[in-house]
């Protein structure tokens, strides 16, 4: 049996689900795009090809194994995108919460059924279809659960809005001893560098008390100020709109000391090293064309 345990974003990682790019399928049609960055690359003819993405994901897998992390991979479904395992489920404490994913992606959860079979069924949480959340919007820090959402009246028309207030309230009720703080995120179906697809696209803690942040990713400046006050201005690495577009905040922590980052994120990687982190640089620029990066590709199961 797997004894799930995830209480923050950065403690020492012991077991994780890492997505797969094998049999990723053909380039989607324009009308099949789920986000503006993928749409841009489909139109431009620069959408990533499977062989390049496999190389990037295997480089990530090699780094995880270097640190003795147990890595689970989804069972391969033919011609089906299974890269972003963070979207389909996420662990809080000893519970795995199954997302109500976009309908076209329902098969992704079936591909990790063999992992779910190792979990106590009482700790597998499912919800009704009107309750929406994806793992990229859910982040643990000390006694907080941070949740990205979208509070606009046009929620149902915004394909990049993945977590609703019903989802926020569901998690509040599930973890009454936690402080659940939601953040209203900037969304765009069409402009990629003005779209915070998930909370981890504009914010993420690293180490014990530092974080990466993009101020303009928050619709309400008070949400941004809340994080500045909580972490302290000097502990935050501010990223630009173009750096958000490149997914600078979507790195992945193997521990409080080790961060996996994209090799082209020079400004960020230098800052991380200046703060004392070990930075494991890997190529991930092709996968980023789908508006997801390292955190998006992982679903931590156990952190010590």
* Residues 212, 235: Cα–Cα separation, whole Å: 9
Q: Kindly state whether residue 4 falls inside one of the protein's structural domains.
A: no
Q: What is the pLDDT of residue 197?
A: 87
**The domain spanning residue 94 has which CATH number?**
3.75.10.10
Look at residue 192 and tell me whether its pLDDT is greater than 80: no
The pLDDT of 76-86, averaged and rounded, is: 95
The number of folded domains in the chain is 1
pLDDT digits (tens, 9 = 90+) for 127-147: 999 999 999 999 999 999 999
Beta pairing class for 236-238 and 210-213? parallel
Instruction: Give which of 79, 117, 75, 84 is closest to 102, Cα–Cα.
Output: 84
φ and ψ of 138, to 5 deg: -115, 125
User: Which backbone phi and psi does 29 adopt, to 5 degrees?
Assistant: -75, 160
Confidence of residue 36 (pLDDT cuts 50, 70, 90): confident
Between the alpha carbon of residue 254 and those of residues 46, 102, 274, the distances in Å are 31, 28, 18
Phi, psi of 70 (to 5 degrees): -80, 120
In a domain, 6, yes or no: no
- Domain boundaries, position 191: 13-303
Write down the pTM of the prediction. Answer: 0.95
- In degrees and rounded to multiples of 5, residue 157 shows phi and psi of -95, -5
8 located within any domain: no
Domain-located, residue 5 = no
């Amino acid at each position: 049996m797997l004894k799930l345990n995830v209480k923050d974003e950065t403690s020492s990682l012991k077991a994780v689900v890492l997505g797969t790019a094998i049999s990723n399928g053909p380039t989607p049609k324009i009308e099949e795009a789920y986000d503006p960055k993928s749409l841009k690359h489909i139109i431009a003819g620069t959408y990533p090809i499977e062989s390049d993405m496999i190389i990037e994901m295997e480089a990530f897998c090699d780094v995880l194994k270097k640190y003795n992390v147990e890595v689970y991979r989804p069972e391969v479904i033919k011609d089906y995108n299974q890269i972003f395992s963070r979207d389909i489920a996420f662990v809080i404490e000893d519970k795995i919460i199954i997302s109500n994913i976009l309908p076209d992606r329902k098969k992704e959860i079936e591909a990790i059924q063999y992992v779910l079979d190792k979990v106590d069924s009482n700790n597998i949480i499912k919800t009704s279809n009107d309750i929406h959340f994806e793992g990229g919007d859910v982040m643990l820090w000390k006694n907080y659960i941070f949740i990205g959402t979208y509070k606009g009246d046009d929620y149902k028309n915004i394909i990049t809005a993945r977590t609703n207030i019903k989802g926020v309230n569901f998690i509040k009720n599930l973890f009454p001893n936690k402080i659940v703080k939601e953040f209203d995120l900037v969304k765009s179906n069409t402009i990629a560098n003005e779209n915070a697809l998930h909370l981890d696209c504009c914010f993420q803690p690293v180490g014990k008390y530092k974080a990466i942040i993009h101020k303009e990713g928050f619709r309400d400046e008070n949400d941004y100020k809340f994080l500045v006050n909580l972490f302290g201005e000097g502990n935050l690495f501010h990223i630009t709109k173009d750096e958000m577009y490149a997914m600078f905040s979507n790195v992945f922590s193997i521990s409080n000391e080790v961060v996996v980052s994209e090799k082209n994120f020079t400004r960020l990687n230098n800052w991380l090293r200046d703060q004392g982190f070990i930075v494991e640089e890997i190529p991930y620029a092709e996968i980023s064309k789908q508006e997801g990066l390292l955190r998006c590709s992982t679903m931590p199961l156990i952190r010590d």
